[in-house]
């Protein structure tokens, strides 16, 4: 396969073959951008199966946890009550994680049904990007391997930044983790040629032609946060930078595809998706977040459910 071709022979125009008359009772499928004020679990439940190409989720982080020393096992339990999409039970995995951290179970009880909906609405070439901090990434990785199937794991992306206060009593925590899972490991869409290239860290070691072209990003992304004085700043506390979302949207969707973010916050996913010619559906339960998104994306349709 040529490196210039999207992974696994996606259509030349990159569009998803949705084949649905509409995406829920409240949403016009022809709209280029929609913002929904409502509970994300209720909203996603109205979307049809296999209707979304790309999902980016930045859920609330589970902080202030008390850890216990206990081993974690990924052994699957054939007698478990719940079945992952790979066909294996993950009750044992969840139970072990809960014993290791007595607050993980509450957090996963919130997140799990939303991830199940994410899997359901992804199309066969679809990809989920789940953005977490160091407190939850490893727990979520074990649980997602059981929920989606370990063969659906694509990448662990590290977003590294160097801004803000630094601890003097440990190595300062200056990165987030983005777990990447695909709906179907045989057919997922990924177009590395569409991604903006970046400068070489040691340009003297490569040819001038390569320096001029730049290099493809790896799975470690150095990118500043949205600073208090930055021009992207919307005033939303956990706003993510457009540069991080731009790589995700470029690689895992094509113009015309539908991008979903149901922890939408400040609307960065929609801003990037719209600028790159993708359709977007943003959902948040916060009225303040919806107001910020509407001001940022005045062309979007705003609905309440």
Q: What is the pLDDT of residue 84?
A: 63
Q: What is the CB-side half-sphere exposure of residue 248 using CA atoms within 13 A?
A: 39
Which of 85, 79, 93 shows the shortest CA–CA distance to 143?
93
Structure tokens at 75: 């052994």
* Cα distance between residue 51 and residue 44, in whole Å: 11
Beta bridge partners of 260: 55, 281
| 245-266 pLDDT tens trace | 999 999 999 999 999 999 999 9
* Cα distance between residue 266 and residue 259, in whole Å: 15
pLDDT in tens, the chain (305 residues): 333 345 543 433 333 333 333 445 556 777 899 999 999 999 999 999 999 999 999 988 765 444 333 333 444 555 655 556 666 666 667 677 666 566 667 788 889 999 999 999 999 999 999 999 888 888 889 889 988 999 999 999 998 887 767 788 888 888 889 999 999 999 999 999 999 998 998 999 999 999 999 999 999 988 776 666 667 666 666 667 888 999 999 999 999 999 999 999 999 999 999 999 999 999 999 999 999 999 999 999 999 98
Contact indicator for 284, 293 with CB cutoff of 8 Å: yes
Q: What is the pLDDT of residue 70?
A: 35
Alpha helices in the chain (DSSP H): 40-44, 91-100, 104-121, 137-148, 208-213, 242-252, 268-275, 287-296
Token pair 């160091």 in the structure block, residue: 134
Count of Cβ atoms closer than 10 Å to residue 186 Cβ:
10
Which of 153, 160, 154 shows the shortest CA–CA distance to 176?
160
Burial class of 100 by CB neighbour count within 10 A (0 to 12, 13 to 18, 19+): middle
From residue 236, how far is each of 42, 286, 290, 302 by CA, in Å? 24, 11, 11, 18
Q: What is the pLDDT of residue 102?
A: 60
Contact indicator for 275, 20 with CB cutoff of 8 Å: no
Q: DSSP string spanning 260-290?
A: EESS-TT-HHHHHHHHTT-EEEEEES-HHHH
Q: What is the pLDDT of residue 278?
A: 97
Q: Look at the pTM and tell me if it is higher than 0.75.
A: yes
Q: What is the pLDDT of residue 5?
A: 47
Q: DSSP string spanning 142-158?
A: HHHHHHH-GGGEEEEEE
Beta bridge partners of 181: 128, 153
Q: What is the pLDDT of residue 241?
A: 80
| 47-93 pLDDT tens trace | 999 999 999 999 887 654 443 333 334 445 556 555 566 666 666 67
User: Domain 7-63+82-304: which topology?
Assistant: Rossmann fold (3.40.50)
* Cα distance between residue 33 and residue 35, in whole Å: 7
Count of Cβ atoms closer than 10 Å to residue 163 Cβ:
10
| CA pseudo-torsion sign 132, 135, 137, 139 | negative
Q: What are the counts of helices (DSSP H) followed by strands (DSSP E) for the chain?
A: 8, 9
Domain ranges of the chain: 7-63+82-304
Q: What is the pLDDT of residue 3?
A: 39
Q: What is the pLDDT of residue 78?
A: 59
Q: What is the pLDDT of residue 170?
A: 87
Angle, helices 91-100/104-121, rounded to nearest 10 degrees: 140
């Amino acid at each position: 396969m040529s490196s210039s071709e999207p992974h696994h022979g996606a259509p030349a125009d990159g569009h998803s073959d949705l084949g649905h008359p509409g995406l829920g009772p409240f949403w016009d499928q022809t709209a280029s951008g929609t913002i929904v004020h409502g509970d994300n679990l209720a909203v996603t439940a109205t979307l049809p199966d296999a209707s979304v190409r790309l999902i980016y989720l930045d859920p609330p982080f589970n902080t202030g946890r008390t850890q216990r020393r206990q081993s974690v096992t990924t052994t699957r339990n054939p007698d478990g009550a719940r079945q992952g999409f790979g066909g294996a039970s993950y009750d044992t995995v969840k139970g072990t994680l809960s014993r290791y951290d007595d607050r993980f179970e509450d957090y996963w009880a919130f997140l799990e049904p939303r991830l199940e909906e994410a899997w359901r609405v992804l199309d066969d070439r679809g990809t989920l990007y789940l953005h977490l901090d160091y407190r939850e990434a490893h727990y979520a990785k074990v649980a997602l391997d059981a929920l989606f199937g370990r063969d659906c794991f694509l990448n662990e992306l590290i977003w590294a930044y160097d801004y803000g206060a630094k601890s003097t009593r440990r190595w300062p925590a200056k990165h987030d983790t983005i777990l990447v899972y695909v709906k179907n490991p045989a057919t997922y869409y990924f177009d590395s040629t569409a991604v903006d290239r970046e400068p070489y860290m040691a340009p003297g070691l490569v040819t001038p032609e390569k320096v001029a072209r730049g290099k493809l990003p790896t799975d470690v992304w150095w990118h500043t946060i949205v600073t208090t004085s930055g021009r992207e700043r919307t005033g939303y506390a956990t706003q993510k930078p457009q540069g991080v979302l731009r790589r995700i949207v470029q690689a895992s969707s094509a113009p015309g595809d539908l991008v979903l973010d149901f922890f939408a916050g400040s609307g960065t996913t929609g801003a990037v998706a719209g600028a790159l010619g993708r359709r977007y559906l943003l959902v948040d339960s916060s009225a303040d977040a919806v107001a910020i998104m509407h001001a940022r994306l005045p062309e979007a349709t705003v609905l309440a459910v």
